[in-house]
Each structure stands twice: as structure tokens, then as C-alpha cells.
Amino acid sequence: MNATTLELALKKQRLQIASEQLRADFGRYAAGLAPAFTGADCAVEGVRWMRRHPQIVVAGGVALAVARPKRVWSWGRRAFFAWQAWRKLHALMERHEPA
């Protein structure tokens, strides 16, 4: 091996060791975020379940509407306004998305 090849091989090895250390550090620092990611995963799985079983969701909504119509109406209004705000925010974000 000539000196240049050996130097490049050593540099590559040093970079690989540094990269391994950075990955380990990131894993330790990101461990605190694990509960948030777990909660997000549960929420996504709940939405998937509701999409697979819409009849159960509708039945629950009807049962609530019969049992407590005033409360269902007020929560329905809040949900509608939240949905409208989400749509507007999403449209705004799409307009300002970098190319």
C-alpha cells in the first residue's frame, strides 16, 4: 500500500468510529423522547382501528347523542371548529412549503 491509500483508509476508519460514537450519543439523548413517540404510536394505531371499525365509532356516537344530547352538541361544535382550523392550517402550510 502506498502512503496515500493508507492515509485514506485510516481517515475512513476514524470517521466510522466517530460516526458510531455520534449514533450512540444520539440514542442516549433521544431516549427521553421515547414516551412521546410511544404515545404518538398509540394515537396512530387508534386512528387505524377507528378506520377499520367505523360502525363501532358511529354506534358509540349515537349512544352518546341519546344519553347526553347537549354535551354531544357542544363537543360536536368544538370538533367542527377544530377540524376547520386544521384544514386552514394544513392549506397554509402547503402553500408555504419549500420547493
pLDDT digits (tens, 9 = 90+) for 39-67: 899 999 999 999 999 999 999 888 888 98
* pTM, full prediction: 0.47
Cβ contacts of residue 56 below 8 Å, gap of 6+? none
Average of pLDDT values for 12-31?
A: 93
d(CA 76, CA 61): 10
CA distance 87 to 66: 29
The SS3 assignment for 50 reads helix
pLDDT surpassing 90 at residue 16: yes
All three cell numbers of 23: 449514533
Whether pLDDT at 99 is above 80: no
